[in-house]
Chains A and B, each alone.
Chain A
Amino acid sequence: MSAWSRLSGPLLKYAGVAFLVAAWAIVPVVAGRSTVDILVFTALYTIAGLGVAFLLGQCGIVSLAQSVFFGIGAYSTAYGVTVLGWPATVSMVTGVTLSGFIAAAVGIPVLRLSGYFLALATLALAIIGQVLFLEWDWLTGGTLGIGGITPISLFGYSLNTPFRFYYFVWPIVIVVIWLHYNLLQSRTGIAMRAMRDAPSAAAVIGVNIARLKVKIFVLSAVLGSFAGSLFAHYVSFVSVDSFGVDRAINFLLIAVLGGVRSIAGTVLGAFFVTSAPHLLSQFGDVHALLFAALLIVAVIYLPGGFGGAIAQAWRKLSGESRVAENVGGVRRP
């Protein structure tokens, strides 16, 4: 093996990373406000979508309930900040804690189900959430919503423009992705995938399946709630329209389009779900139809999602035989 070919792999990787970072830093400077806006939403939805992708890809749990936790986070922040006058962090932590407890309470009975039954049960949760967000108007403002949520302030620096929020939220996404990778590369990560592939055998090797499922569901809910809180600060106004079943489906779409086994793919899934409707809206009334058509095309031609497509391209490019297919696989030392 020549020195170049030995070096080219890592070099390619570092060059790619450097390019991505540079592109990321420069986008707000060259792109318009609406592009930055889309990228901020991409980040927010990536955080919530990762929770769903993780459940689906690593644990085999289909969750349509993420909109509920996204909503709980958003309303906790909205109510805490505007009505109770709490600081942003306290409101956010309250939302995250509340979501965690609710996920545990709901998860213990619901996660006993599997397959379609589980998917339907989580859909029911999304519907219940939507109804409660609407009916408990003393808390959520009902259809009128809650407005006037102040932007996050960091060391006296207000994140009150998309540009500022953009530079704040993407590093958070990176941290969340890092946490995900860590979990995958652990005993727990292996146990999750074992449980996904053969639950009875996982129980035999000592995995407490019921407990592990609830733990991961709580983790997913915490991410949803966190993203919801950030969302509330960013848009400054929350109403029940943002936390309906369609949002729940969007989160699942992000996971599926991204390729449930690929973390990087989830970012692309989130980007697709936020940007495609926006781009298609110039076609007028048919935009929803076009979006649906685009989805069908994506699902047919990219069965492994964007993540799967990237992994394949990377394999071709670098000549490596086995990358990304087994995200979090334990590599040889």
Chain B
Amino acid sequence: MGAGPHLDEHARFEAFFPGSAADFLRLLGSWSIPFALLDAGDTILFWNRGATKFYGLVEDDVLGRPWAEVVSEPAFVPAPPAPGVRTRRYETRHRSAAGEELSVMVTRTELPSGDGTEGAFVLVTDLAEAKGLERKLGRRVAQLSIIREIGECLQSAMGLERILRTILVGATASQGLRFNRAFLLLVDERHGMLRGRDAIGPADAEEARRIWDRLAAGKRTLRDLVDEYEPQTDEEPKAQTIARQLSARLDDDTQFVIAALRADGTTRVVDGRGSGDPATERITETLGVDAFVAVPLRAEGRPVGLLLADNAITRRAITDEDVAILELLGFQAAQALQRARLTEELARQVESLEAATRELRRNQERLVRSERLSAVGEMAARVAHEIRNPLVAIGGFARSLLERPEGRDPATRESLEIIVNEVRRLETIVKEVLDFSVPAPPRIGSVALKQLASEALELLRWELNEAGVATRVEEAEGSPPAAADPDQLFQAIINLLRNAVHAMPQGGDLVVRLRGVPHGVEMEVADTGVGMPPEVLSRAAEAFYTTKTHGSGLGLTIASQIARDHAGELRIESRVGEGTTVTLRLPAATEATTDA
């Protein structure tokens, strides 16, 4: 405290308020909220800093003057306070020293008359400022609750389309951010594009009024709006046309949307036409509005899209608050989009996993079937072989007897003929088995050998890995597809590959080569295995001939039979210690060959 008026002031306090009350009042003296202390005749006794600032009048100007005159308060009509109530509050208008009209709330408290002195304590609240603050606060709260509601909608939104719709409805609805129009562009990395995906906004003021009237009619929640929002089907809304026009290549920095996408924060344009920047002027032309705002959407540091909004219809200025709230929406939108992208990615991976499982199961069934077929075939062939010679002997002697004098007796002759006929029947069956005559004729179609070979290798992957065999498929340029029954051919290839693997117990290289030959195609299966001496080679394709301790000895026999059934052939070349090469020649598929 200094000297001079302050001392007087102190003395006044002491006179008016005993003890600590004076200290309290001094504290209030430094407040920014205007207040004054009046005596019983409403003369100003005290005038604080806040009042000085608010009315533009210093203490010296006002002390000792009537309150109503100083603040230009209209005739004060005090409502009679209820007994025991000393405080009244009323709204009124004051005037500052500069003549400015002030809308205020006066809080007037009659002070107790302990020593007989009466007076009043008057607190003034600037209503203009308070109302503004309150409005602001209310709006902020409303906006935050909108953001929360949009956030909840986004959280529960399944699928990209629903998320896009929620973002756009949120940005434009009266229950939302109240922009007139919103455009959403998404990054399409596969095609190197920033694509205008969707937009919401009326084409003109009339449509805007229609929509807003309808929306205002019911108290709908944002979720209801998202549910009800139906994109027009007959004609593309203008906003969506604009959205598509906004699309740009990601590497095209001359585009406003790309610059905005890569910008650190929000890009605001206030005077697009007069900006002097060609890119900004171009997009201003496209949007047809001078002021707009572009919020980049980022997820995990990567740009995923751009949210553009404007007030094309009402031309309402875009405020800092509008931008701040749009940024909040943009943040949530980016999260939701990222989530949708990951979900989609996950779905794709699940799908490919399922496809792989299906393929695996199919291969498994194929393998089991081919194993079983070859086991059954082996058994049948062995049995047939064993009964063949006895049948020849039985039937042969029966015929022999018919030619001898003993066979001339009619009863004997009949018996012998029965034997002959029954043996002939059995021989036919045995012959079919031994010839490996395929019951059904081959279903010839066009077969891509490379794919079939790859599938067969895949099927034997475990065996190949176990044996340490490296494989590769080499296809000469212009190798035609084969005209073949894919199932039978698959069996033949499996047999050849198996032989090759078995020839390389210590590992080695297995190469499948494909090449076109005149009117045909050849598949060569070459191994770097033990090879075969000539005497083994000459019998290699013989049924049941095998040098292995396992296997049926039918592999090559079946393969060569299949080759013959296809009007092809099987050639074997081998050198001991160097390896074996089996060449399967098949007719090439022609245009007449249907796809297998």
User: Do chains A and B interact in one complex?
Assistant: no
